[in-house]
Amino acid sequence: MTAPEQAGATAGTMEFGRPAAQDDPYLVVENLTVQFPTHDGIVQAVTDLSYTVRSGQTLGIVGESGSGKSVSSMAVLGLHNPQSTRLSGSIRVGGTEVIGADQQTLRSLRGNDAAMIFQDPLTALHPFYAVGKQIAEAARMHNDISKAEARRRAIDMLDRVGIPQASSRVDDYPHQFSGGMRQRAMIAMALVNNPQLLIADEPTTALDVTVQAQILDLLQDLQQEYGSAIVMITHDLGVIAEVADDVLVMYGGRAVETGPTKAILTLPEMPYTWGLLSSVPDITGATDVRLIPIPGTPPSLLNPPTGCSFHPRCPHVDKVPGELCRTTLPELTQATHPGHRKRCHLVNPDEIYLKEVLPEAAPDLIDEETGELIPELQVQLEEIQQETHDHPTKAPGRSAPRGGDHVRADPEKP
């Protein structure tokens, strides 16, 4: 596969499908399982993962290293080697099935409608060709435009992603760019054809905060202008809070919690998500948030733990009667609020979170005198309850939807 193909920049001749009905989600992932047979056994990288993303909306995927974020996203663009990968389930992009699709269909998908910003910029840029030429070729494969026009678009995109003196750097080779510049060049290549679906895998990790903000703005512009569906994979919960309508938390290759961003960030109901939120330092120092790392290590994907795969690390395992956590995998079930789901046996997770977890992780959110939540948080909780109830398919707390229709990033079947 050539570099431009990987970055979603190669056009096929046939048009990729559209959703069957106008308000169908643009991306539908159902019961996706991805396994890699190896000498040591079968790596169960992704298991029974389902979610949907509508046009104009952003799903944020979070989880520790090795939780299956990249593997599941690469499956969406048909990027796994069919010889060495076992894939099952269904992935529909714009109404067309990706799993089992032939190469022509996949090339059409990656060229016309979907693009990926890779975690590793070197994956997408070919070392033999000038950066601008690769972006221009990507634009020409998709559009009937002259070489001069394609070069102009490449310079414009490089400029928009913040490459200084883009008109002179356009002829540089990837090795002449710094790591951060290569990442921006790859973003330019992924965006040059205004994809309907963009998968951004840690798109801003190597970038300083100013450029990071610029790139996030650019993605939001793309979404507003073209109604793109975006899947944003990131370790940065600040980025999630800023751009994601819905959040999917992954652990050991499975969805463990999902729902509207504000609900997940304000009242998460799964202990792994509690751990993720409590392990983020507040570098501004503006709050009293404590840094509490998650104990232990991520689960083996060759021999996953029985029951809930988080049980060996979960500080709340003994609150569930008997051996349930150790023996029985929890289903992904409805949380307290509509549109919010969690995979956990605890029967009163909201109470545990508000009375135990939050006071330890963020004591300044609790009123010292009354022992109650501070009024601001109380208001937020009431808002979540009200808004998710009123608009179960719309993420609460956004001032306005950014173009397109509503998102429903829900790991249950759509």
Ligand X SMILES: Nc1ncnc2c1ncn2[C@@H]1O[C@H](COP(=O)(O)OP(=O)(O)OP(=O)(O)O)[C@@H](O)[C@H]1O
**Of these partners, Mg ion, ligand X, ligand SF4, none, which one is at the site of residue 45 (CB under 5 to 8 Å by kind)?**
ligand X
346 binds ligand X (CB under 6 A): no
Name which of residues 114 to 133 contact Mg ion (CB under 5 A). Answer: 119
SS3 assignment, position 223: helix
Own/partner long-range contacts of 164-173 (Cβ < 8 Å, ≥24 apart): 169/131, 169/132, 170/130, 170/131, 170/132, 171/130, 171/132, 171/133, 172/130, 172/131, 172/132, 173/127, 173/128, 173/129, 173/130, 173/131
* Two tokens, residue 403: 């173009």
Q: Which of 186, 320, 373, 377 binds ligand SF4 (CB under 6 A)?
A: 320
Alpha-carbon distances, residue 236 vs 100, 279, 349 (angstroms): 33, 11, 24
Among 54, 69, 140, 408, binds ligand X (CB under 6 A): 69
325 belongs to the binding site for ligand SF4 (CB under 6 A): yes
Q: Is 47 in the site for ligand X (CB under 6 A)?
A: no
256 binds ligand X (CB under 6 A): no
- Work out whether 316 is an interface residue with ligand SF4 (CB under 6 A): yes
Task: Name every residue whose Cβ is closer than 8 Å to that of residue 29 and which is 6 or more positions away in sequence.
Answer: 49, 50, 51, 52, 72, 76, 89, 90, 91
**Interatomic CA distance for residues 187 and 176, integer angstroms:** 17
Cβ neighbour number for residue 265 with a 10 Å cutoff: 19
Kindly tell me which of 70 and 112 has the beta carbon lying closer to Mg ion.
70
* Residue 294 found at the interface with ligand X (CB under 6 A): no
Nearest to 387 by CA among 267, 208, 297: 267
Applying CB under 6 A, the site for ligand X has a residue count of: 14
Q: In terms of CB distance, is 67 or 204 closer to ligand SF4?
A: 67
End-to-end CA separation in angstroms for the chain: 32
Report the interhelical angle of 209-226 vs 179-191 (nearest 10°): 0
Rounded least distance, CB 260 to ligand X, Å: 22
Q: Could you give the CA distance from residue 58 to residue 409 in angstroms, rounded to a whole number?
A: 8
> Is 99 or 366 the residue whose CB approaches ligand X more closely?
99
| Phi and psi torsions of 81, nearest 5° | -70, 115
Element containing residue 19 per DSSP (H, E): none
Applying CB under 6 A, the span of 6-14, 25-33, 63-71, 109-117 interacting with ligand X comes to: 63-71
Contact predicate 333/343, CB 8 Å: yes
Span from 131-139, 165-173, 281-289, 306-314 in contact with ligand SF4 (CB under 6 A)? 306-314
For residue 63, the partner it binds in ligand X, Mg ion, ligand SF4, none, with Cβ less than 5 to 8 A by kind, is ligand X
Total chain residues near ligand SF4 (CB under 6 A): 14
Least separation, in Å, of the C-beta of 301 and ligand X? Answer: 5
Contacting residue, 10, 67, 70, 196, with Mg ion by CB under 5 A:
70
CA distances (Å), origin 132, targets 156, 157, 185: 10, 9, 8
Longest dimension (CA), the chain: 70
Q: Is 230 in the site for ligand SF4 (CB under 6 A)?
A: no
Rounded to a whole number of angstroms, the minimum distance from the CB of residue 208 to ligand SF4 is 36
Span near ligand X by CB under 6 A; candidates 4-12, 37-45, 267-275, 320-328 = 37-45
Site of interaction with ligand X (CB under 6 A):
36, 38, 43, 45, 63, 65-71, 119, 301
Site of interaction with ligand SF4 (CB under 6 A):
270-271, 308, 310-311, 314, 316-317, 320, 325, 330, 344-346
Site of interaction with Mg ion (CB under 5 A):
70, 119
